[in-house]
Amino acid sequence: MGYVEFAKTIKQLTQEAGQPAMVSMKDIALRCGVSVATVSKALNGHQDVGSATRTRICNMADEMGYLTNSAARALKTNRTYHIGVLFVDDRRSGLGHEYFSAVLNSLKEEAETQGYDITFINRNVGNKPTTYLQHCLYRNLDGVVIACVAFNDPQVLELVSSSLPVVTIDHVFNNRIAVVSDNVNGTGALVRHVFALGHRRIAFIHGERTAVTENRLVGFYRACGELGLEIPPEYVLEGVYHDPDRCGELVQTLLRLPDPPTCILLPDDFSAIGGLNAIQKMGLSVPEDVSVTGYDGIHLASVIHPCLTTYYQDTTVLGRTAAAKLIELIERPKTALLDRIIIPGRLQEGQSVRYLNL
Amino acid sequence: MGYVEFAKTIKQLTQEAGQPAMVSMKDIALRCGVSVATVSKALNGHQDVGSATRTRICNMADEMGYLTNSAARALKTNRTYHIGVLFVDDRRSGLGHEYFSAVLNSLKEEAETQGYDITFINRNVGNKPTTYLQHCLYRNLDGVVIACVAFNDPQVLELVSSSLPVVTIDHVFNNRIAVVSDNVNGTGALVRHVFALGHRRIAFIHGERTAVTENRLVGFYRACGELGLEIPPEYVLEGVYHDPDRCGELVQTLLRLPDPPTCILLPDDFSAIGGLNAIQKMGLSVPEDVSVTGYDGIHLASVIHPCLTTYYQDTTVLGRTAAAKLIELIERPKTALLDRIIIPGRLQEGQSVRYLNL
DNA sequence: CGCCGCTACAAAAACGATTAAGATGTCAAT
DNA sequence: ATTGACATCTTAATCGTTTTTGTAGCGGCG
């Protein structure tokens, strides 16, 4: 039986069985008259394989539809080309949040183009509860991206202090790579923007106290300081991210002050909607009576009415960078710089901030 | 060296190395004075192991922090406890869409509680481009959930017609399990609802032609028929999902008709915002002058003003069911019913539809 | 007593790849 | 001719499981 006939037979067999009848290196070796070792080397680009043999093997591999068995490779090399992603979605602040799903999507794409797949980390192995770290070890993950979680969770800390390559998003740990959105300058940019439009009485409703929030507060106070603004303490309130109702209430609180602000910075675009509603409910309108800004720059911001002045966080670069840095750390641990990488965003002007005649 | 000392040593070693120094069945076997085979059986609950030995082995496994090596198990058993998810996010209609991220999240949780991890399917293996199917085979995925893709993509069809266990969401294939949102009754419910409120001139802006859209059209025309409504063809327009601008334009088109509708059904909540804006831009208001409904019942619908009357799609049940059905198909292929499962939603009344005095 | 059947374990062969170490052949230099 | 260097390929061990087959011991039964 000649070469071509044999190939046909193989295909027919696989067709018939309905199963793709996984072809292994052994099969290729058999057909090429070489050893499995040679096949492995040829396919992996090692140098001690003759160029004629190499092309013969590679062609045969294509011909036969060879696919690496990832489990076997992982077993032998301890490399899975799988990176874990830890996103927690309590109260819809994880995947449900457009910011994070956009970051995730970009992260996914970068990882995939580099040959890595992503998988979610959770707290069980088989049907037994475990820790995040154990789950990662069980799956032999090459590395982990952590985002959108309670970073003081003991299980998260265990993961961060493990020997696994880790990249965190929007939170900085010592001696770990962190990719963070530029919350300091982002908030600062908003302050300076509304200041330039004449606003002096600027209030800030921020989210729950997290690393992100701390940075936004720093950005806020620093910018105000540089502009010579004295912000009364009652202008700075703790709200809740992604909670239009709560933020709406706080907006009303602010507007009922004896000396109300002319502009209110809200924790994010979504909760800004609550602000808009609350203001409208008081018979006032945006931006004529009160100005408002959001944060995030999600699609929503530009389609609501009035569309929001906000600070766009570059989710694409954030996700891509996180993936790229993690892979760098995995593949070249010696040279990877353990540092904090700040991703700048961009002020996005809408119609929610009025020009104030001074 | 006694038992306790030995245990300590192990722990110290792993601490020092910084590496968790994976302990294998071999280590347990050594310490328990049994063979690896026995360890394997004990840990996997086989019957031919003495109960004393069994508990000794299990305790030791816990003690030493044993974790199954998933790669080795996968290699031997061809089961990875990994299910693939195919979500495509062209033009932000995948993960960026709250509907799908909610489905994904629910799917993830159900899979995880059953001991399965989820991973995204893409089109490369290593750094070479391949098909979705090849990717699944390369990763030895136990099964696949397909959602939110162009279901006529040849690569998707290849996957669907492969021998892999497959569950599709919102699209039905022959002899495959499909989990679909009840678009027929959902749209019907909206029609009946606005009819009950007195509306007779009801327009429908639907999304691009997909299986989902077809069902909604069926639901629309069927309900209208049952109610004895004659819908003029110019009342039914093809819009674009998740596109407020385009849908806004179409709303204006409808309202400029000589005999405009009193109520407009929009393709989803997000694009309904475009409808609201467009109406406002014409100097009209919702619901006083025109009534509007959305679809999806995402969080947004209830926070905008006026909040939307919409049809809530039960993303939680959708995702959970998809995962559960897929796992059933994987684990009990003989008894799993290859069928279409319809997940009902719920009409969610807002303030965007007015009561019309007839 | 001898045999059967049972329980409880061990031995060993896989799964499919990687890789160190060894083998072979060729050719140039001595 | 011998040697070494080099290129090219093979052998064989190994990763950590699972699973088939084998076997020792023991009690019961005719």
Kindly report the CATH number assigned to the domain that includes residue B108.
Answer: 3.40.50.2300
Paired strand residues for B84: B119, B144
Paired strand residues for A202: A263
* Res A93: pLDDT: 53
- Asked whether residue B15 carries a pLDDT value surpassing 50, the answer given is no
B42 near B49, Cβ under 8 Å?
Answer: yes
Q: For residues B200 and B352, what is the distance between their CA atoms, to the nearest angstrom? A: 16
Q: For residues B10 and A95, what is the distance between their CA atoms, to the nearest angstrom? A: 40
**Measured between CB atoms, which of A105, A130, A244 is closest to B96?**
A105
Separation of CA B35 and C1' D20 in angstroms?
A: 15
A304 shares a domain with A188 = yes
Paired strand residues for A85: A120, A145
Q: Alpha helix locations (H) across chain B?
A: 3-17, 25-32, 36-43, 51-64, 70-77, 98-113, 132-138, 154-160, 183-196, 211-226, 244-255, 269-281, 299-303, 315-331
- Asked whether residue B233 carries a pLDDT value surpassing 70, the answer given is yes
Chain B hits for A123, Cβ within 8 Å: 112
A131-149 burial string, b = 16+ CB within 10 Å, else e? bbbbbbbbbbbbbbbbbbb
* Res A138: pLDDT: 96
Taking CA–CA distances from A79, the nearest residue in chain B reads: B71
* Res B7: pLDDT: 36
Q: Does the distance separating the beta carbons of B101 and A138 come in below 8 Å?
A: no
B201 shares a domain with B163 = no
B304 interfaces chain A, CB cutoff of 8 Å: yes
Residue A225 lies in a domain: yes
The total of other beta-carbon atoms located within 10 Å of residue A120's CB is 24
B320 shares a domain with B173 = yes
Q: For residues B272 and B304, what is the distance between their CA atoms, to the nearest angstrom? A: 10
A230 shares a domain with A297 = yes
Domain stop point among B26, B47, B77: B77
Residue B350 lies in a domain: no
Domain stop point among B77, B95, B110: B77
Average pLDDT of chain B to the nearest whole number: 91
A177-181 vs A166-169, strand pairing mode: parallel
Which nucleotide has its C1' atom closest to residue A57's CA?
A: D9
Residue A349 lies in a domain: no
Read off the pLDDT of each residue in B289-299 and give the average, rounded to a whole number. Answer: 96
- Chain B residues 170-199 within an 8 A CB cutoff of chain A: none
**pLDDT tens-digit profile of B74-97?**
999 999 999 999 987 665 555 667
Q: For residues B174 and A201, what is the distance between their CA atoms, to the nearest angstrom? A: 64
Q: Does the distance separating the beta carbons of A20 and B68 come in below 8 Å?
A: no
A264 shares a domain with A200 = yes
A88 shares a domain with A55 = no
B260 shares a domain with B302 = yes
Separation of CA A35 and C1' D12 in angstroms?
A: 12
B198 shares a domain with B295 = yes
Q: For residues B192 and B227, what is the distance between their CA atoms, to the nearest angstrom? A: 8
Chain A hits for B299, Cβ within 8 Å: 92, 96
A116 shares a domain with A13 = no
* Res B199: pLDDT: 97
Cα Rg of chain B, angstroms? 27
Domain stop point among B40, B55, B77: B77
Sequential pLDDT tens for chain A (358 residues):
333 333 333 333 333 344 557 999 999 999 999 999 999 999 999 988 999 999 999 999 999 999 999 999 999 999 999 999 998 766 555 566 788 889 999 999 999 999 999 999 999 888 889 999 999 999 999 999 999 788 889 999 999 999 999 999 999 999 999 999 999 999 999 999 999 999 999 999 999 999 999 999 999 999 999 999 999 999 999 999 999 999 999 999 999 999 999 999 999 999 999 999 999 999 999 999 999 999 999 999 999 989 999 999 999 999 999 999 999 999 999 888 889 999 999 999 999 999 988 6
B296 interfaces chain A, CB cutoff of 8 Å: no
To test the contact with chain B by mutation, choose from A13, A25, A70, A85 the residue with the greatest count of B C-beta atoms within 10 A, namely A70
**pLDDT tens-digit profile of A303-351?**
998 999 999 999 999 999 999 999 999 999 988 888 999 999 999 999 9
CATH code for position A53? 1.10.260.40
Number of domains comprising chain A: 3
* Res A14: pLDDT: 39
B13 interfaces chain A, CB cutoff of 8 Å: no
Q: For residues A295 and A297, what is the distance between their CA atoms, to the nearest angstrom? A: 6
Check if residue A73 sits with its Cβ under 7 angstroms from strand C.
Answer: yes
* Res B16: pLDDT: 40
| A216-221 contact pairs (CB < 8 A, 24+) | A216/A183, A216/A184, A216/A186, A216/A187, A216/A295, A217/A187, A218/A184, A219/A183, A219/A184, A219/A185, A219/A186, A219/A187, A219/A188, A219/A191, A220/A187, A220/A188, A220/A191, A220/A265
Paired strand residues for B169: B179
If you count residue pairs, one on A and one on B, with CB atoms under 8 Å apart, how many are there? 159
Chain B hits for A22, Cβ within 8 Å: 137
B113 interfaces chain A, CB cutoff of 8 Å: yes
Q: For residues A277 and A255, what is the distance between their CA atoms, to the nearest angstrom? A: 13
B241 shares a domain with B127 = no
Residue B355 lies in a domain: no
To test the contact with chain A by mutation, choose from B16, B106, B120, B163 the residue with the greatest count of A C-beta atoms within 10 A, namely B120
B231 near B221, Cβ under 8 Å?
Answer: yes
- Chain A residues 38-77 within an 8 A CB cutoff of chain B: 65, 67-72, 74-75
Residue A355 lies in a domain: no
- Asked whether residue B30 carries a pLDDT value surpassing 80, the answer given is yes
Chain A hits for B96, Cβ within 8 Å: 98, 101-102, 105, 299
Residue B356 lies in a domain: no
Residue A291 is part of which domain span?
183-313
A171 shares a domain with A270 = no
- Min Cα distance B358 → chain A (Å) is 30
- Min Cα distance B206 → chain A (Å) is 19
Residue A358 lies in a domain: no
Read off the pLDDT of each residue in B314-331 and give the average, rounded to a whole number. Answer: 97
Q: Which residues touch strand D (CB under 7 A)?
A: A 33-38, 41, 47-54, 72, 75-76; B 22, 24-26, 36-37, 39-41, 43-44, 48, 66-69, 72-73, 75-77
- Name the residue type at position B310: T
Q: Where does the pLDDT of residue B3 fall: very low under 50, low under 70, confident under 90, or very high at 90 and above?
A: very low
- Asked whether residue B12 carries a pLDDT value surpassing 50, the answer given is no
- Chain A residues 236-295 within an 8 A CB cutoff of chain B: 244-245, 270, 273-274, 276-277, 280
Residue B212 lies in a domain: yes
Nucleotides of D under 7 A from a protein CB: 7-12, 14-20, 22
Query: Tokens 């989710």 identify what position?
Result: A315
B190 shares a domain with B176 = no
Predicted TM-score (pTM) of this structure: 0.91
Longest dimension (CA), chain B: 95
